[in-house]
Amino acid sequence: MKIFQVINVRWYNATAWYAITLSRLLADAGHEVTVLTQAGTPSEEAARGFGLNTVAVDLNTNNPVRLAIAARHIIQLLKAHRPDIVNCHRGEGFFLWGLLKLLRFDYRLVRTRGDQRPPRSDAFNRMLHAEVADAVVVTNRRMADYFLRKMRTPAHGLWLIHGGVDTARFAFDAKGRDRVRAEFGFGPGDVVVGLVGRFDRVKGHKETIEAVARLRDRGMDTVRLFLIGFDTAMTSSQIQASIDEHGLGDITRISGRRDDVPACISALDIGVVASLWSEAIARSALEIMAAERPMVSTSVGVMPDLTAPAMLVKPGDSTGLADALAGLINDPALRRQVLEAQRRTLSQLTLEEFLKRSLNLYTSLIDGG
C-alpha cells in the first residue's frame, strides 16, 4: 500500500510517538510510507532519525496565503504518490484533506485521535468525521464512547486501536536492575516506587511524592522513590523542592535523561502513573507493564483500559494512591493478581498487534471501496 501519515505535531509527544511508531512498522512491513511533518519540529527530526521518508507541509498555519501554498503542495504530492490511505494524526489541516477528498482525489481518509481533548461536537465537525472521513481511530475506550454518543460517528467507522510496546526492548532486565539500583543507592531490601515521565505538572509528581510521604508516615521505612525523567515544563529543582518539603530527600532519587530506560524501569518494584489528565496513549504505562512491574494508576485517559481495577485511583488523590501502593507492598497475592492481569492485557498491546489492527483497518477500507 501507499500511505501518507500526516504528523503535523509540533512536539515529540505521545501523538507523534504513536504516529511515527506506526509509520516505522508499516515501512518495515514493506509498505510505501510518506510522513508529512511540520518543518523544524522534534517530530520531523524523530521521523528522519528512524529513516522514514519525510516531507514538510505547513498545515498548522491560519494564514490564507500560506494555507493555499500548503494545499498546492499537497495536491502535487497526491498526484506524484497517489496514496491509498491518508491518516491524519492532528486536527489542523484535517478539513483540507477532507475537502480534497470531496474534490474527487482518490484516497481513503482516516482521522486518528491520539489526543484526550474531545473534538467540538458541532454539525460541521460531526459531518467531517462521520461522512467525509472513511474511518476514525481512537486510542482508548473513553474517546470511543465520546465519538459514538456526541459525534454520532457510525460504529462501523470507528476503530479502537491502542498503541503497542516493544516487548523485547522493555522486557525485564535483571542485570540492568541490579546495576541501576546500585548506582542510585537502592538496597536489596528496599521497595522502590517509581514514576516514569517528563517533568510536567500533568504527570502528577507532586501527588506521587505526597503518597510516598504518607507511606513513610505509616512506618513503611523500606519504601524508596525513583523519579525517572528530566526537565521539560518543570525543572529538577522544582521537583526537588517538593521532595524536600515532604522530607523525602534521603530516600528519593532523580534519574535525569537516560539511555537505559528499560533498565531503570526494571529497577522498580512498583510503577506509578499519577497523571492528572490526558494519557490518551500512555507510552510509559505500556513500558512498565512490559517490564513486568505491577502498576498503580489514576483513572485518566486510556488508563482504565490498561490498569487492574483495584489499582485505579482518582487523579489528584494522593491518599488513594498511597492506599493502593500499600496494598501492593503488603499483599504478595495481590501483586501476583495484578501482574497476571497486566500480562493478559499486554498480550493485545504488542507492536505486532498494533500493526495487525492498523493494517486490518486499511485493508478493509481499500477492499470496501
**pLDDT for 203 beyond 90:** yes
Domain regions of the chain by residue span: 2-164+350-368, 174-346
Number of Cβ within 10 Å of residue 191's Cβ equals: 17
* End-to-end Cα, the chain, rounded Å: 14
Section 118-122 average pLDDT = 90
pLDDT band at 115 (very low <50, low <70, confident <90, very high): confident
Give pLDDT tens digits for 167-193.
999 999 999 999 999 999 999 999 999
Phi-psi region of 345 (alpha: psi -120 to 50; beta: other; left: phi over 0): alpha
Out of 11-15, 81-85, 162-166, 192-196, least confident range: 11-15
Q: Is the pLDDT of residue 369 over 70?
A: no
Paired residues of 158 in beta bridges: 136
Q: Which three cell numbers stand for residue 211?
A: 503518597
Distance CA 99, CA 107 (A): 12
Q: How far apart are CA 250 and CA 261, in angstroms?
A: 23
The sheet carrying 270-273 orders its strands as: 252-254, 223-228, 191-196, 270-273, 295-298, 312-313
| Identical fold, 2-164+350-368 and 174-346 | yes
Q: pLDDT band at residue 117, thresholds of 50, 70 and 90?
A: confident
Instruction: Give the mean model confidence (pLDDT) for residues 38-66.
Output: 95
What is the average per-residue pLDDT within 15-34?
97
**163 touches 347 (CB < 8 A):** no
Query: 522513590: which residue's cell?
Result: 225
- CATH class belonging to 2-164+350-368: alpha beta
Give the Cα-Cα-Cα angle 166, 169, 170 (nearest 5 degrees): 80
- What residues contact 293, with CB distance under 8 A and at least 6 apart? 172, 194, 265, 266, 268, 269, 270, 271
- Mean pLDDT value across the chain: 96
DSSP state string for 49-112: HTT-EEEE---S---HHHHHHHHHHHHHHHHHH--SEEEE-SSTTHHHHHHHHHTT---EEEEE
Cβ-contact 350, 164 below 8 angstroms: yes
User: 255-297: per-residue pLDDT in tens?
Assistant: 999 999 999 999 999 999 999 998 999 999 999 999 999 999 9
pLDDT in tens, 306-323: 999 999 999 999 999 999
Query: How does pLDDT run across 328-339, given as a tens digit for each residue?
Result: 999 999 999 999
One-letter amino acid at 183 equals E
Helix, strand, or coil (residue 352):
helix
Cβ–Cβ under 8 Å, residues 322 and 211: yes
User: How confident is the model at residue 350, as a pLDDT?
Assistant: 97
Query: CA 306, CA 299: separation in Å to the nearest integer?
Result: 10
Place of cell 524508596: 224
CATH 3.40.50.2000 fits 174-346, yes or no: yes
Q: Given CA atoms 355, 357, 358, 363 in this order, what sign does their dihedral have?
A: positive
Residue 368's pLDDT is 80
Q: What pLDDT was estimated at residue 116?
A: 81
- Give residue 97's pLDDT: 96
Percent of the chain at pLDDT > 70 equals: 100
pLDDT given for residue 11 in this prediction = 87
